[in-house]
């Protein structure tokens, strides 16, 4: 089934200094208008950090990258979509290494300086001649423009309806520093993390340990707070490349923490974009949960609500069915006093003190139907644990897309 692309939701960021990118159609996807190979390249060596799927069944590119990050001296990331190179045994790892080597040859660097990402159908071998040709084509059209960044982002997409890009800039010690993130994800999205691939580029100078710490913290509060269908992928990866092209010594002190805050904002924005682009979604669901004893408790309860098919279909039908929401919170396995549970949907109080609260359900229904985003606000006690968690509704289109994905 062809996937209709939708317009970008956010302004296109610019490329951080010292980076180039490209995306091309090589033939891994049947649709000739859909790019399926992408390159992100730095003109100088980068510090790299990575956060990866916790699925025990993980793809060859995950094994390849995880063994190398965090570290220094990296020059590029090569990406293919349409084929996950997952559950492919020793040949899969050999193909990941060959993919890095093919990119390195085109760029005039070493294979060890290239990281690899793949996404798509599980259990099929990469068509290496096709992929190698695509890598050469992408290397030939590398650019620094916003359009080059968009085509590279499109090369990461599978069932996404649009590329996902976001960027921030700030000044540190008189240096202008940029952060630009690119992500893909629309389904098989469930922490920890969300099929999802992400590449975050920055011209900041970062030490490897700092890059890894800040990326881990950002992913914990962003991509690990998204669930479209609760299905954790084999390929989930977020890479951070910092090439130091902004100049000066490695960031430290308040400058480093400000970088961390902007990195967090970039990841959170991309995470919301993933939820908003959930396969077949007509609503993005934002769950604001407070009052839990710990943040992990808050995440567990919020995820139970986010993953409930009954909650998701209710939002799809603009039904303010409070019973589905409070019961999902109750089966999450986290103790709380149900008589202290408070629920608002789009600002309207629906449940408190163990009972429903009289309200204009038609108005609440209209508020759901008339907005792309639905807010579920739950208070489960007076503890310090809180979280913002994103999901999407469940529609018949989601079923069609996944039933027809391979056939």
Helix runs in 110-168, H state only: 128-140, 146-155
Q: Name the β-bridge partners of 120.
A: 82
The 8-class DSSP code of residue 131 comes to H
* Burial class (CB within 10 angstroms; exposed 0-12, middle 13-18, buried 19+) of 96: buried
| Chain centroid, CA 327 distance in Å | 28
Q: Name the β-bridge partners of 292.
A: 385
Residues 6+ apart with CB under 8 A from 32: 25
Q: Which of 47, 132, 195, 202 is the catalytic position?
A: 195
- Active-site residue 313, yes or no? no
Q: Are 284 and 373 spatial neighbours (Cβ–Cβ below 8 Å)?
A: yes
* Lookup: tokens for 54: 């916790």
Cα(373)–Cα(80) distance, rounded to whole angstroms? 31
Q: Are 115 and 52 spatial neighbours (Cβ–Cβ below 8 Å)?
A: no
Residues 6+ apart with CB under 8 A from 244: 44, 46, 47, 203, 204, 205, 206, 250
Q: How far is CA 316 from CA 43, 281, 311, 371, 372, in A?
A: 47, 8, 9, 11, 10
Residue positions annotated with a catalytic role: 195
């Amino acid at each position: 089934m062809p996937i209709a692309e939708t317009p970008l939701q956010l302004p296109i960021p610019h490329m951080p200094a010292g980076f180039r990118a490209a995306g091309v159609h090589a033939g891994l996807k049947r649709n000739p208008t859909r790019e399926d190979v992408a390159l992100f390249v730095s003109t100088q060596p980068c510090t790299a950090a990575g956060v990866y799927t916790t699925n025990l069944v993980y793809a060859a590119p995950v094994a390849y990258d995880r063994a190398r990050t965090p570290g220094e001296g990296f020059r590029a990331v090569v990406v293919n979509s349409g084929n996950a190179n997952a559950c492919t045994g020793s040949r899969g790892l050999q193909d990941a290494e060959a993919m890095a080597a093919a990119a390195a040859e085109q760029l005039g660097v070493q294979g060890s300086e290239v990281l690899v990402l793949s996404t798509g159908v599980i259990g099929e071998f990469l068509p290496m001649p096709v992929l190698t040709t695509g890598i050469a084509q992408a290397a030939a059209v590398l650019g620094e423009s916003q359009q080059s960044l968009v085509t590279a982002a499109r090369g990461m997409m599978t069932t996404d309806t649009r590329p996902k890009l976001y960027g921030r800039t700030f000044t540190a010690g008189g240096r202008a520093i940029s952060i630009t993130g690119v992500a893909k994800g629309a389904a098989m999205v469930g922490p920890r993390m969300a099929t999802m691939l992400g590449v975050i580029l920055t011209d900041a100078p970062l030490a490897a340990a700092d890059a890894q710490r800040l990326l881990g913290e950002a992913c914990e509060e962003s991509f690990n707070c998204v669930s479209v269908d609760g299905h954790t992928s084999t390929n989930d990866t977020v890479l951070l490349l910092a090439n130091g092209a902004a100049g000066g010594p490695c960031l430290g002190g308040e400058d480093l923490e400000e970088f961390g805050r902007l990195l967090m904002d970039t990841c959170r924005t991309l995470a919301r974009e993933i939820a908003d682009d959930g396969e077949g979604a007509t609503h993005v669901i934002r769950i604001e949960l407070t009052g839990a004893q710990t943040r992990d408790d808050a995440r567990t309860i919020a995820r139970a609500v986010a993953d409930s098919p009954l909650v998701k279909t209710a939002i799809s039908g603009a039904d303010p069915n409070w019973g589905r929401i409070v019961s999902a919170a109750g089966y999450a396995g986290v103790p709380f006093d149900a008589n202290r549970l408070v629920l608002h949907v789009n600002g309207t109080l629906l449940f408190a003190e163990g009972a429903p609260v009289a309200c204009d359900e038609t108005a609440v229904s209209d508020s759901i139907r008339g907005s792309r985003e639905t807010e579920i606000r739950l208070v489960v006690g007076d503890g310090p644990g809180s979280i913002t968690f994103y999901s999407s509704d469940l529609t018949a289109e989601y079923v069609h897309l996944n039933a027809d994905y391979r056939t």
